[in-house]
Structure 1
Amino acid sequence: MTPATHENHPVRFLTIGTGPIVETMLRGAHLDPRFVHSAIYSRRQDTASAFAARHDAEHTFTDLEQAARSDTFDAAYIASPNSLHFAQAMLLLSHGKHVLCEKPLASNARQASLLCRTAREKGLVLMEALKTTLTPTFAAVREALPRIAPIRRYFAAFCQRSSRYDRFLAGEDFNVFSPEFSGGSLLDIGIYGLYPMVVLFGPPEEVVSRSLLLRTGVDGQGSLLCRYPQMEGVVVHSKIADSSLPSEIQGEGGSILIERINSFARAQIVLRDGSREDLSVEHAPFDMVYEVSAFI
């Protein structure tokens, strides 16, 4: 089975995880009529059963190996802790399942490369679930780039103090600040600034990164300076401090302001003569539908 290539071709999904991100994904996914929520994996049967009852999923599993061997689903959506993504995705790919995996796809580049190679060899679809470069507003921004060319700088900021940070400072431990769970600011939210840059301008020639490390050894915040032949990229991210700065693409002909890089819903172009134009395009009410539809 391959993901649908035409309208009304159903794709049966297994979801891994029962947290808020899965709830949000499902609200968006059901906007695509091809999406079928067939199965749920959780370590606890009571949790899986309760989640299945709420979401009308037919099958539940507490053993991922058993799930992967079954014929109850065609593709899996992985929303487990970061450090589990690689092993779970590899297991599913090895049993012929397509994989839509929450960001980050893996804990490091070596793992990501292995997953991509396995998916290619088996003719399967492997996709990192990140909606921002799939939104209508992102498409409008990309189309507007020639109006401000040549591009000289890309600046992205996503700094959001974690609701758990004060408790972390008081001595509690959380996955998002744990090296064992591949936590830290870059993997959790820094990716939101990097993704649009690479999609729009390709991989940089050089990256210089600076980070502030927390007591567990993960980065609490960081900055990346990315070199391109005729421009630079700057990405700042933080889990320990807030910022109200917009992100911006600067060119000799003007600039494009992006209100929230993590949603990419609102943007405007500012030309050299001072004129402004709204580039925002109305989004679906639950915008994770964009990543699910792109995957299918």
Structure 2
Amino acid sequence: MKLAIIGSGMIVNDFLPMVSDIPGIELETIVGTDRSIAKMNDLKKTYGINEVSTNYEECLKNERVDTVYIALPNHLHFSYAKQALLNKKNVICEKPFTLKLSEMQELKELALANHVILLEAITNQYLTNYKKIKEAVGTIGDIKIIECNYSQYSSRYDAFKRGEILPAFNPKMGGGALMDINIYNIHFVTGLFGEPQKVNYLANVEKGIDTSGILSIDYGDKKVVCIGAKDSTAPIRTIIQGNEGAIIIDGATGTLDHFTVINRQNESKLVDCKVHTHRMYEEFLEFERIIREADFETMKKQLDHSEMVMAVVDKSLVTAGISLG
């Protein structure tokens, strides 16, 4: 994979120290704005990136680049991914894939028509600990209740209250608690249990954006609550309850550092099967394989999952009366 990184924000700075552990990824280009040139040059020097650019169109014409990693604010995902797909580049797009289901579906059609790979970067779907949770779910009987709480007071919330609207709280830029942190919970739950029957989002809305909210997901025989908050804080924890036991995950559903299985006799077992300390390692290791092998079967499976998630997001925003973009 000869990669162009689009963006130079926090997620890119998190990604770059890890990527050298995946030999199949070559860092060809980093693309950003004029005001980020100094930052990009520092990243180029530190991580051995071949080139710095402020021209996305030129990057897409670069024959040395076969894949772009879009790590931009949420509202730019669709347009940048679409442009790359039209130029027959493979695309890895940060979560949330797009702001609405119809945009994601258009990207899916373009990828298939142009015979290129399109993937959403969503860590939990690729973690070995997540696969182990899928196995453990079958050991705790009939699942009845799932509670996911990802609440983390945002460093930008105080500025938001003062009237400074940064991307994290800007409805035009796809901000808000649902799209930023509760999206991990949605991926986590639907990856385990599939498409829900009903969803309803009870959101705390300030200035047109959800600063926190409770998403209820109904599977008929099991009920789910996904809490995401950027205006308050609480222990970050997920509990899956069955009639024979429970699974407890301390920490965010995007990281899944470890989990505990407890049976009805209160006997517990700690499980930790992660293969790398960095949460993004396993997903990018798999992305490199999928692109190298042109594994369209796996791509379609992952896109089906992402499409299901975007359908939940669409319905959730409608029930809360929130309009993004």
TM exceeding 0.5: yes
Alignment-mate amino acid for residue 12 of structure 1:
K
1:86-97 correspondence runs (5 A): 86-97=78-89
Identity of aligned residues (%): 27
Q: Distance in 1 between matches of 2:236 and 2:46?
A: 39
Correspondence for 2:31: 41
Q: 1:196 aligns with which of 188, 192, 212?
A: 188
1:286 counterpart SS class: coil
2:266 counterpart SS class: coil
Shift of 1:245: 4.8
1:1-296 correspondence runs (5 A): 11-44=1-34, 45-215=37-207, 217-260=208-251, 261-296=253-288
Give the alignment's Cα RMSD to 1 decimal. Answer: 1.4
Deviation track 1:220-277 (CA, whole Å, cap 9, x = no partner) reads 0111111113212211111101011521111111110011123111100010111000
1:148 counterpart SS class: coil
Deviation track 1:71-107 (CA, whole Å, cap 9, x = no partner) reads 1211111111111110000000111111111111111
Q: Distance in 2 between matches of 1:245 and 1:66?
A: 43
Alignment-mate amino acid for residue 122 of structure 1:
N
Residues 47 and 244 (structure 1 numbering): CA distance in 2 closer, same or farther, change over 3 Å?
Answer: closer
Q: Distance in 2 between matches of 1:149 and 1:65?
A: 53
Q: Distance in 1 between matches of 2:26 and 2:249?
A: 34
Alignment-mate amino acid for residue 96 of structure 1:
K
Shift of 1:53: 2.4
Q: Distance in 1 between matches of 2:90 and 2:146?
A: 33
Name the one with the larger helix percent: 2
Alignment-mate amino acid for residue 135 of structure 1:
L
Q: Which moved more, 1:163-172 or 1:50-59?
A: 50-59
Q: Is residue 158–residue 262 contact of structure 1 (8 Å, CA) maintained in 2?
A: no
Q: Is residue 102–residue 130 contact of structure 1 (8 Å, CA) maintained in 2?
A: yes
TM-score (norm 1): 0.92
1:147 counterpart SS class: coil
Shift of 1:46: 4.3
Q: Is residue 28–residue 287 contact of structure 1 (8 Å, CA) maintained in 2?
A: no
Shift of 1:159: 0.7
Deviation track 1:182-230 (CA, whole Å, cap 9, x = no partner) reads 1111000011111011111101011111111112x11101111111132
Q: Distance in 2 between matches of 1:262 and 1:193?
A: 8
Q: How many residues align?
A: 285
Structure 2 gaps of 5+ residues are 289-325
Structure 1 gaps of 5+ residues are 1-10
Q: Distance in 1 between matches of 2:17 and 2:278?
A: 6
Shift of 1:153: 1.9
Alignment-mate amino acid for residue 221 of structure 2:
Q
